[in-house]
Amino acid sequence: MPFNINAIRQQFPALNQSVDGKTPIFFDGPGGSQTTKTTLNAIRDYFAFYNANLGSNFFSGVKTTEVMQQAREAVAALVNAPSADTISFGGSATMLMFNFSRAIGRDWQEGDEIIITAADHYSNVSSWKHIAKDKGVTVHQIAVDEQTFEIDYDELASKIDNNTKLIAFTYASNTLGSVLDAKRIIEMAKSVGALTFIDAVHYAPHFSIDVQQLDCDFLVLSAYKFTGPHVAAIYAKTEHLEGLTPYKVEPATEVAPNRWEQGTQNFEGLAGMTAAIEYLASLSGQELADSPLRDRLETAFDNIKSYEQTLSAHFLDKLKAIEGVTLYGKKSIEGRSPTFAFRLPKGTPAEFADFCAKRVVGVGAGNFYAQGLCEQLGIMEDGGVIRAGCLHYNTIEEIDVLFDLIDEFLNA
């Protein structure tokens, strides 16, 4: 293993606490990660010493401006953006999606069409459905291929034409763990001049992102999914940040990217986001002075992917040994994150999640806002799925504990 899992876990207070006499096990990473001491300190220090707003010449205001710029630069390195000025911030990915969908769809009209997918979290569906309804625009929703558990690319191709204005899709399903072929989708969109809007919230904790290589128009992520605080960022091409018209207060700057950031930003969150990205880079094993942040992040994500694939392989091997279990997702480690959606042959997802919670093991149950997916699979009204998601701080031993609980639940 390229990094020391015990040393990694020591950096997370939540992983070393005692709850009801037990060390908690977190398999709820897809819903939100735990955070490190360094990230907590960054948030605390900003709040303790520099709490201010932009535009002041006082030391705290100057520091706040620096904190915001450092966060732009850190996110730009994380996604390999061509400039820090292509990064804007918001309170959550959902807020950013609704904000940008209104601006992107401002000039749409009847006869225009957009495409969404059933693989997506509904932040990247409802935001587009609302503006499409307001403008009289046709919405096509692409089904999930139940063999590959990606989307049906043939159906997607059949829906794209010269009326298509935008394709909104997830980079990786927050429920299935499936990674979509983003480059393929973007090339389809470009063939008719359509924009692409990527939800990378679930993808970002697990894999390296390169927006220049993808050549996407927009990409959103959330820091709290990769060990940071509750703050989100969006990459957008400069032509869009400058050419689209944001909904904002009149005196606010017209200069991009600030023109997209309504109201006072979560500066303590931005300090924490930078610290979280630096933490991820530390998983490269390289010292700060050895190489640029982007290079360290690329190596770190190679290490993360390799380790998480060992977790996925172990989880899938254990799962397939259970008679009557149903896995919704890829059965191999390729093309997926270590997030698993399944149903057991006994009990409901909520009953099993409650059973685990009483034993201080956290798994999820429900639809996880993947409404289109659960409706397509016919499980929306039947409790959805059990979701167990690993991050790079989880261990093989923790997976074994979960499967011991599955055996206990099924044999009770």
For strand 87-90 and strand 113-117, is the pairing parallel, antiparallel, or unpaired?
unpaired
45 and 28 within one domain = no
Q: Are 141 and 114 in contact (CB under 8 A)?
A: no
Q: How many domains, the chain?
A: 2
Last residue of a domain, one of 244, 279, 314: 279
CATH code of the domain containing 381: 3.90.1150.10
298 and 224 within one domain = no
125 and 105 within one domain = yes
Which residue pairs from 64-70 have beta carbons closer than 8 angstroms and sit at least 24 positions apart in sequence? 64/267, 67/267, 67/270, 67/271, 67/274, 68/265, 68/267, 68/270, 70/270, 70/271, 70/274
Q: What pLDDT score does 301 carry?
A: 97
- Whether 287 is in a domain gets the answer no
Last residue of a domain, one of 246, 279, 312: 279
Q: What pLDDT score does 1 carry?
A: 44
- Whether 284 is in a domain gets the answer no
Find, among 321, 312, 338, 226, the residue nearest to 272 by Cα.
226
- Whether 285 is in a domain gets the answer no
* Sign of the alpha-carbon torsion through 312, 314, 320, 326: negative
- Whether 129 is in a domain gets the answer yes
Find, among 2, 7, 9, the residue nearest to 391 by Cα.
9
347 and 265 within one domain = no
Q: How far apart are the first and last CA of the chain?
A: 37
CATH code of the domain containing 66: 3.40.640.10
Q: What pLDDT score does 138 carry?
A: 98
Q: Are 339 and 30 in contact (CB under 8 A)?
A: yes
**Domain enclosing residue 398, as ranges:** 5-36+292-411
147 and 47 within one domain = yes
300 and 223 within one domain = no
- Whether 105 is in a domain gets the answer yes
Which two tokens mark 151? 């989307």
333 and 249 within one domain = no
Find, among 59, 125, 77, the residue nearest to 284 by Cα.
77
Q: What pLDDT score does 2 carry?
A: 60
C-alpha–C-alpha distance, residues 101 and 131, integer Å? 7
- Whether 234 is in a domain gets the answer yes
Q: What pLDDT score does 141 carry?
A: 98
336 and 353 within one domain = yes
185 and 127 within one domain = yes
- Whether 382 is in a domain gets the answer yes
24 and 51 within one domain = no
Last residue of a domain, one of 248, 279, 310: 279
Mean pLDDT per 10-residue segment, the chain (412 residues): 84 97 96 98 97 92 96 98 98 97 97 98 98 98 97 98 98 98 98 98 98 98 98 98 93 91 95 98 85 96 97 98 97 98 97 98 97 95 96 98 98 90
